[in-house]
Amino acid sequence: MRQVPETSMKTEMPLSKPIRRFLTQTEELLDTEISLLRQPEAEPGGTLVDKYTYDMDTNVIIFPAQYVGLLKDFIIAKHCTNLLIKGAATEKRDYKIVSYTEDSVYSGLRQIYIDALKDEAKKEKKLPVQKLIQMLFILFSQFNDDINELPWNAIMNASVYHRMPKIRKTQLYHIMKESKNDMDEMIEHESIIPRRYFVLDKAMFYARDMFLAKTLPADELMPVLNIPQMKKFNHLEVKEMLTTRWTHTAWYQSKVFGDNMLAIIDKPLGQVNWKVDEPTLDYYYDLYKVGVLVTDNLVSYMTMRDWYVWEPPRHLLAAHEKKEEYEKNALKKIFGDLITDTWEDSGS
Amino acid sequence: MALKEAIELLKKGHAYAKRTKYKEALGYYNRALSLDPRCAEGLFLRASIYIDTGKYKEALEDCDKALALNQNYSDAWSKKALALYHLERYDDAIVASTRAASLNGNDVNAWYIKGVCLDEVGRSDEAQEAYGRSLELEIILDIQAESKKVRK
């Protein structure tokens, strides 16, 4: 069981009317309890610790201490939606996420290594072998995390946008912030990561952003928001804001991958009816199935089908426990006995 | 001398409150207030503990006492608004949060509570205005918190 740190503060906190209703509806639909927790070091996007993933009786939504008003409300709305999707799938005995096995780790690491060698052959300044070996599993894990997060992020945002019109401006700020963080991720490792994976990872986030820009077109941040740091986006619509940003990244030249991924995300999500009056658990189960389809299609597009497996959440938790063993065995299979010394030298 | 001692006790209590050790914090605040019953800050701090432990009526009483000592104590108005919100006295909470926000325009909590309570009584347009101001301030706080993280 994942423990909630003792330093956290749990209080009855004020909530705006639509969020309070949504929270109650979520608890009633799932016949469960949701606790809210404010933590100084919480992730900017908040965290959901839920009974469908971890061995625990309740669910906790954790958010940063500085979120005292609508930012907190948005995080709650987003994670309640996520919880409903997970709960609905669990109810149907079908809740699975993208996990990995010893064999799939080998497939992934081997593929990344082959691609890395192709990149290295073109480089004047070669990457030290040690660094290259370390990079393999880190990159594999990164894609595992991202593929488990990204399609659901798009679904949650689209759902909240349609269900909670009163917090749209808050949502827009949050999306802008999240997009910036995701855009910056990996940038510092650009020279180490094989080009193909750098491009694919950025393409996923670009596609997510462009899907959201298309889904959330109506509102502008101005004139209600009057914040110096947001001035550069003055009078721009969401799509313009996000496109402007992406065009300023070095990645943009490879945007064809992002456009293809946008089509992959957009096709199934474009058919969802987001405006159902009284969504039932069956509705959220349908959202789950759409998320699975998007995930599958993205994995196929990135030719990572043999890297990952669909399994219940506890499988992934168990896989995380064994990740060092999986990594070590995969590296042994790829490099033979040569790896033993390198592994021991690196202190792993 | 007693006043100085009361301030020290309040500081100790506050240190406990920050670590969510409410019982200990309350003990120090009570001792401070027995030395100086007219300490508005002590009453405000005790009201905060009462809010955090769900004792909203007691919180309201302390806020009122603090405000009787200092009518321009913006934090006490803000805390009073929060206590009134929890007691579902939305109209009174609107008055208190409006006063808090007029004394301190940068009080994000006051603007948010005002928005929530206006929404509760069906004054949606006014609620949106209050939410708008609350969001602006919250975003500024968020940007500051993120910059601090980067500097660390």
Query: pLDDT by residue (tens digit) across B37-89?
Result: 999 999 999 999 999 999 999 999 999 999 999 999 999 999 999 999 999 99
CB–CB contact A12 B120 (8 Å)? no
Which one of B50, B135, B147 would you mutate to disrupt binding with A, by most A Cβ within 10 Å of its Cβ? B135
Judged against a pLDDT cut of 80, whether residue A199 lies above it is answered with: yes
Mean pLDDT of chain A: 86
53-112 in B: which are within 8 Å (CB) of A?
54, 82, 85-86, 108-109, 111-112
CB atoms within 10 A of CB B141: 19
The phi-psi region of residue A43 (left if phi > 0; otherwise alpha if psi is between -120 and 50; otherwise beta) is beta
pLDDT (0 to 100) of residue A8: 38
Across A187-191, average pLDDT: 75
Q: Which DSSP letter does residue A9 get?
A: B
Report how many domains make up chain B. Answer: 1
Q: Nearest-CA residue of chain B relative to A20?
A: B116
Judged against a pLDDT cut of 60, whether residue A271 lies above it is answered with: yes
Contact B113, A14 (CB under 8 A): yes
Judged against a pLDDT cut of 70, whether residue A124 lies above it is answered with: yes
Residue A261: half-sphere exposure toward Cβ, Cα within 13 Å: 29
Which one of B116, B119, B125 would you mutate to disrupt binding with A, by most A Cβ within 10 Å of its Cβ? B116
Percentage with pLDDT > 90 across chain A: 59
Count of A-B CB contacts under 8 Å:
79
Across A201-229, average pLDDT: 74
Question: B4 lies in a domain?
Answer: no
Across A309-324, average pLDDT: 97
Question: B61 lies in a domain?
Answer: yes
The domain in which residue B89 lies consists of 38-151
Judged against a pLDDT cut of 50, whether residue A4 lies above it is answered with: no
Question: B146 lies in a domain?
Answer: yes
Q: How many Å apart are CA A152 and CA A149, to the nearest integer?
A: 6
pLDDT band at residue A345, thresholds of 50, 70 and 90?
low
Percentage with pLDDT > 70 across chain B: 97
As given in the structure block, the two tokens for residue A165 are 């019109």
Judged against a pLDDT cut of 60, whether residue B145 lies above it is answered with: yes
CA distance A11 to chain B (A): 6
Across A71-77, average pLDDT: 96
CB–CB contact A8 B20 (8 Å)? yes
Question: B25 lies in a domain?
Answer: no
pLDDT (0 to 100) of residue A232: 63
Contact B122, A51 (CB under 8 A): no
pLDDT (0 to 100) of residue A183: 78
Question: B23 lies in a domain?
Answer: no
**What is the domain-level CATH number for residue B121?**
1.25.40.10
pLDDT (0 to 100) of residue A329: 94
pLDDT digits (tens, 9 = 90+) for A221-259: 444 455 666 666 666 666 777 777 777 776 666 678 889
pTM for the model: 0.88
Question: B132 lies in a domain?
Answer: yes
Question: B43 lies in a domain?
Answer: yes
**Non-local CB neighbours of B96 within 8 Å, separated by 6+ positions:** B77, B78, B80, B81, B84
Question: B32 lies in a domain?
Answer: no
Q: How many Å apart are CA A115 and CA A112, to the nearest integer?
A: 5
